[in-house]
Amino acid sequence: MRRSQVTTVSLLAVLALGACTNAKDVLEPSAITPPASSAQSSATPQSTSTTATSATTTAPAPSPAPSITASPATRATPAQTAALAKTRLQVAPIVGASVDAAAPLTAELQSRAKQRGLTLVGSTDQTATHVLKGYFSTMSEGKDTTVIYVWDIYDPSGNRLHRINGQQKAPAVGSGEGWPTVAPATMQAIADQTIDQFATWLGSGGAG
């Protein structure tokens, strides 16, 4: 009777062990997945905090970048600086533009030239190294007016060295057509572009 009980207990133990082994085989994939998921979950905050830390650490570094990038845009190259420093530009009377339109143009030419380190001289100055002659016209399309311009650059002997041309379109500011509808800002924009292109041409050696 005792032996029978022992045998029964042993048999139950074997069955229980077998059941555990089978259960383990069935549950193992499920059992592996949650820890992996949990590991990812726990790893994610660490990775996030690491990223945040690195972002915090590296955040100050980009700050100087804008000023470094902006400097070349607002300063002339060494070649331009040297060329502009020894240049004395004379602006001839504007051809084709009305007096009212030419006024903001010439005023802005002087202002922009000063910003770029370029010296403008009067019409009677004999020390001019370059002469700038401008020819202007307008073209109206509906409510818009387009200003077309051509600048010829000459040496003191009258030889043409270079040409700058373009057009500037802007909404009309008054009634009618032509120059009365052209805003001062349009002429100022043309002046800025002209001086900038002149400076670029000088910096490239002033050829062609």
Residue 150, domain CATH: 3.40.50.10610
Question: What pLDDT, on a 0 to 100 scale, did the predictor assign at position 207?
Answer: 60
Domain membership flag for residue 96: yes
Low-confidence residues of the chain, pLDDT below 50?
1-74
Residue 191 and residue 99 share a domain? yes
Domain boundary residue, one of 71, 94, 125 = 71
pTM above 0.85, yes or no: no
Residue 85 and residue 56 share a domain? no
Residue 83 and residue 59 share a domain? no
**Helices assigned H by DSSP within 59-130:** 64-74, 78-85, 99-115
C-alpha pair distances (Å), 202 with each of 44, 58, 118, 153:
58, 41, 11, 11
Q: Which residues contact 116 (CB under 8 A, 6 or more apart)?
A: 76, 80, 84, 195, 196, 199
* 88, β-bridge pairs: 119
* CA 107 to the chain's CA centroid: 28
Residue 173 and residue 84 share a domain? yes
CA dihedral 7, 10, 14, 16 (to 10 degrees): 120
Question: What pLDDT, on a 0 to 100 scale, did the predictor assign at position 142?
Answer: 80
Residue 164 and residue 137 share a domain? yes
Question: What pLDDT, on a 0 to 100 scale, did the predictor assign at position 75?
Answer: 64
Residue 122 and residue 100 share a domain? yes
Residue 90 and residue 177 share a domain? yes
Domain of residue 29 covers: 1-71
Cβ proximity of 138 and 149 under 8 Å: no
Domain membership flag for residue 126: yes
Count up the domains in the chain and report the number: 2
Question: What pLDDT, on a 0 to 100 scale, did the predictor assign at position 204?
Answer: 86
Residue 53 and residue 91 share a domain? no
